């Protein structure tokens, strides 16, 4: 692994925002792809933080600090991604509404995905995090999007994605939209079970699958 990817991972584990930003900037200065250091350095770092938190060897204040460092670098790298432009989809059509579901404040992965969609020419309306199903549907109607993408990081909030499918059906709006579900506990099995159109394991796959559906 490149020395910079190791530094990136270590900086997140050490909750060191400055070191994390330094690794990100050095990677960009060397002409590196923003997504590469995210997926090979920073994401392994925050994943390890999550595992340590789950095992009880790291506590909430450190989880929060690691998340802050992660957000600082993803902001920087997302801006670089948007500036560079992408290469996944040559001719995007249709805009996207994105939200983290109600009860859930995790939005780092969604932020990365939005940056990738934008870099590939899609218009994205981001409703933020902790968003009610009704607000998601109203937002989709208001902005006239084709795709509704939701992110859920907690096993307890995934049910909101099911509620979205059910509410769309009840309102006779289901056929109007392509729904995409994502988030660490979300799987293809879950997407199939609730009737979502796309399961996106990561941001790149999300862009590819949306491109195939539209």
Burial tier of 52 (Cβ tally within 10 Å: 0-12, 13-18, 19+): middle
Smallest gap, in angstroms, from Cβ of residue 30 to ligand B12? 22
- What are the residues whose beta carbons fall under 8 Å from the beta carbon of 166, sequence distance 6 or more? none
- Selected from 154, 173, 208, 214, the binder of ligand B12 by CB under 6 A is 154
Q: Whole-angstrom distance between the N-terminal and C-terminal Cα of the chain?
A: 37
Q: Is 8 in the site for ligand B12 (CB under 6 A)?
A: no
Between 115 and 170, name the residue whose CB sits nearer to ligand B12: 115
Burial tier of 96 (Cβ tally within 10 Å: 0-12, 13-18, 19+): buried
- Selected from 4, 77, 112, 140, the binder of ligand B12 by CB under 6 A is 112
Interacting residues with ligand B12 between 40 and 99 (CB under 6 A): 43, 46-47, 49-50, 53-54, 60, 63-64, 67, 71, 98
**Could you tell me which of 136, 71, 70, 66 has the C-alpha nearest to residue 99?**
136
164 backbone dihedrals φ, ψ, rounded to 5°: -60, -45
- Selected from 30, 105, 123, 171, the binder of ligand B12 by CB under 6 A is 105
Footprint on this chain of ligand B12 (rule: CB under 6 A): 43, 46-47, 49-50, 53-54, 60, 63-64, 67, 71, 98, 103-110, 112-113, 149, 151, 153-156, 180, 182-184, 200, 202-203, 206
């Amino acid at each position: 692994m490149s020395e910079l990817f190791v530094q990136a991972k270590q900086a997140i584990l050490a909750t060191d925002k400055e070191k994390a930003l330094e690794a990100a900037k050095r990677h960009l200065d060397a002409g590196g792809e923003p997504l590469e250091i995210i997926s090979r350095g920073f994401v392994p770092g925050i994943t390890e933080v999550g595992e340590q938190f789950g095992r009880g060897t790291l506590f909430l204040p450190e989880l929060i600090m690691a998340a802050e460092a992660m957000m600082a670098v993803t902001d920087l790298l997302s801006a670089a991604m948007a500036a560079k432009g992408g290469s996944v989809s040559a001719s995007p059509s249709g805009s996207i509404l994105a939200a983290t579901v109600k009860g859930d404040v995790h939005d780092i992965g969604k932020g990365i995905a939005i940056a990738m969609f934008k870099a590939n020419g899609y218009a994205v309306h981001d409703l933020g995090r902790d968003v009610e199903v009704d607000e998601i549907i109203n937002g989709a109607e208001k902005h006239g999007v084709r795709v509704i993408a939701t992110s859920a990081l907690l096993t307890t909030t995934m049910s909101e994605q099911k509620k979205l499918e059910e509410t769309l059906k009840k309102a006779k709006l289901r056929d109007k939209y392509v729904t995409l579900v994502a988030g660490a506990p979300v799987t293809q099995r879950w997407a199939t079970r609730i009737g979502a159109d796309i399961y996106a394991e990561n941001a790149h796959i999300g862009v590819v699958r949306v491109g195939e559906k539209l």
